[in-house]
Amino acid sequence: MLDKVSRAAGETANRNLVFAFADRDMKLDRALELAKGELEFRRDIYSCDALAWALYKNRQYVEAQQFMKKALKLKTPEPMFRVHAEAISDALRKAAK
């Protein structure tokens, strides 16, 4: 329902919806679309984290790691950055095996 309202309003960026979808493994293509829009609009480390997480959930691990590195660049004490970075690193290790 919320996404219908978001689409009707022409929303192309919404970090909250990115995490709502990605954390629940729902509408992962839409989460990725919104995350890309979010980064284009805000251009901040939180948007890099959102995009990294959406990419991870879409199994695009290498690209996810690139954006996660950007999110971590300033060493912001954001606990979810570390959680996301660890999940992406684990996925890359498993994919390499």
CATH number of 67's domain: 1.25.40
Instruction: Let me know the angle formed at the C-alpha of 51 by 48 and 54, rounded to the nearest 5 degrees.
Output: 150
Give the model's pLDDT for residue 1: 57
Domain that holds residue 16: 2-96
Give me the number of domains the chain comprises.
1
pLDDT band at 97 (very low <50, low <70, confident <90, very high): confident
Average pLDDT, rounded, for the chain: 91
Interval 15-58: pLDDT, tens:
999 999 999 999 999 999 999 999 999 999 999 999 999 999 99
**Coil vs helix vs strand at 27:** coil
- pLDDT surpasses 90 at 3: no
Element (H, E) at 53: helix 45-57
Tokens (6 digits) for 67: 């954006």
Q: Are 80 and 68 in contact (CB under 8 A)?
A: no
Q: How many CA atoms lie within 13 A of 45 on its CB side?
A: 14
Q: Closest by alpha carbon to 54, among 20, 83, 92, 8?
A: 20
